[in-house]
Amino acid sequence: MPVAVSRRLFTVDQYHKMARSGILSEDDRVELLAGEIVDMSPIGSRHAACVKCLNQIFNESLQGQAVVSVQDPIRLGPRSEPQPDLALLKPRADFYANAHPGPQDVLLIIEVVETSAEVDRKLKLPLYAKAGIPEVWIFELSAKKVEVYRNPSARKYLVSETYTKKQTLSLQAYPHVNVDLSEVFRII
Amino acid sequence: MSVAVSRRLFTVDQYHEMARSGILSEDDRVELLAGEIVEMSPIGSRHASCVDRLTKTITMQIENSAIVRVQSPIRLGPRSEPQPDLALLKPRADFYAQAHPGPQDVLLIIEVAETSTDTDRKLKLPLYAKTGIPEVWIFELFTKQVDLYNPKAISLPAGVSARQGGFESGFSIDLIYEV
């Protein structure tokens, strides 16, 4: 039953205060999206395998040119701290020990979705665009395709393309880094 | 933009922990409704005046046979702590200093609705019914109408009795007020 209520929104600082005071725990699978604390869906085995496979591909091909961040927080802005499935970050000696990476540190974000990607497409993607994340890939496991979003503007990505399982994707930040999608989708 | 997300729900204990750790302050006008922290609408002058009139009328008539609680919390259950405009409570010497009153302590809840009828009717009313609040009155300022809900007598959520005035357990109030 949808009721138009005005929910209390939280800042990233309040969100972390909840963790310090035990209201949220490190084991809680939640993200802060536009001030709302959203429960993340349980991760299925195909989803997990896709992330593991991509992690290996990027770690081998990037050779330290980027930090591969797996399901860790990105501090997008004062009210958003999502945990994308995978993020490629500008290399930094401390691996972002002092503060979570911000939008300016992110080269690519990847979200993996089984079927319904409502949260990812309608809620997270506009936040990524607004924060200026230069490139987002959404892996759709059921359809075996990848949506690629580039050129962020204030509300959305101006460029979007769909790649199928036989194509090769290259990274905007490092065009020499290619991902053969058949390598990923053959395991799914 | 309406997206089906699964929001994190909070318990009353977590809600109070937020107040202790400064995430919420005493000045925050929020209620905990079914685990969600909901912002309350600003109170307009007609709304405030209606609450004040009701407070006076009811207090004068019931004297010491009940406590009149105005815009303060009721601990409805593990995930709900609304702040109804007015609640009539069973008398207690400490005026509920040790703990907020629970549903078993409530005789009547009154909500005054100017703009917030959606929240009052669709979100709060089912919670009041579920926890066994015996009677709820909703004062509608625009239509100058009072809806009485008695969840024990009528099946929910449609339990509307559109009569005005009258309260079985002992007193009646003058519903003619200028808005």
Over 70: is that where the pLDDT of B113 sits?
Answer: yes
pLDDT of residue B39: 94
The answer to whether the CB atoms of B39 and A6 lie below 8 A apart is: yes
The answer to whether the CB atoms of A7 and B7 lie below 8 A apart is: yes
> Taking the CB of residue A4, how many other CB atoms lie within 10 A of it?
10
Residues B137, B146: contact at Cβ < 8 Å? yes
Q: Exposed, middle or buried: residue B36 (CB in 10 Å: 0-12, 13-18, 19+)?
A: buried
Is residue B109 less than 8 Å (CB to CB) from chain A? no
pLDDT in tens, A82-116: 999 999 999 999 999 999 999 999 999 999 998 76
Is residue B21 less than 8 Å (CB to CB) from chain A? yes
The CA distance from A23 to B10, in Å, is: 8
Q: Which residue has the tokens 């629970």?
A: B102
The answer to whether the CB atoms of B2 and A119 lie below 8 A apart is: no
Nearest CA-CA partner of A13 in B27, B125, B21: B21
Q: At a CB cut-off of 8 Å and minimum separation 6, what does B93 contact?
A: none
Q: How far is CA B15 from CA A9, A34, B38, B84, in A?
A: 14, 20, 11, 17
Nearest CB among A10, A22, A123 relative to B3 is that of: A123
Q: What is the pLDDT along chain A (188 residues), one digit of tens a residue?
A: 466 788 999 999 999 999 999 999 988 999 999 999 999 988 999 999 999 999 999 999 999 999 999 999 999 999 999 999 999 999 999 999 999 999 999 999 999 998 767 888 889 999 999 999 999 999 999 999 999 999 999 989 999 999 999 999 999 999 999 999 999 999 98
Over 60: is that where the pLDDT of B80 sits?
Answer: yes
Provide the shortest C-alpha distance from residue A125 to chain B (in Å). Answer: 12
pLDDT in tens, A122-137: 899 999 999 999 999 9
Nearest CB among B4, B8, B30 relative to A30 is that of: B8
Phi, psi values for residue A47, rounded to 5°: -60, -50
The answer to whether the CB atoms of B5 and A119 lie below 8 A apart is: yes
The answer to whether the CB atoms of A39 and B28 lie below 8 A apart is: no
Provide the shortest C-alpha distance from residue A21 to chain B (in Å). Answer: 7
Is residue A5 less than 8 Å (CB to CB) from chain B? yes
- Residues of chain A with C-beta less than 8 angstroms from the C-beta of B37: 7-8
The CA distance from A102 to A104, in Å, is: 5
Is residue B14 less than 8 Å (CB to CB) from chain A? yes
The CA distance from A150 to A49, in Å, is: 25
The answer to whether the CB atoms of A22 and B22 lie below 8 A apart is: no
Instruction: Give the 3-state DSSP-derived string for chain B, with helices as H, strands as E and coil as C.
Output: CCCCCCECCCCHHHHHHHHHCCCCCCCCCEEEECCEEEECCCCCHHHHHHHHHHHHHHHHHHCCCCEEEECCCCCCECCEECCCCEEEECCCCCCCCCCCCCHHHEEEEEEEECCCHHHHHHHHHHHHHHCCCCCEEEEECCCCEEEEECCCCCCCCCCCECCCCCCCCCCCCCCCCCC
The answer to whether the CB atoms of A118 and B4 lie below 8 A apart is: yes
Residue of B nearest to A126 (CA): B1
Element (H, E) at A184: helix A181-185
Predicted ipTM of the assembly: 0.86
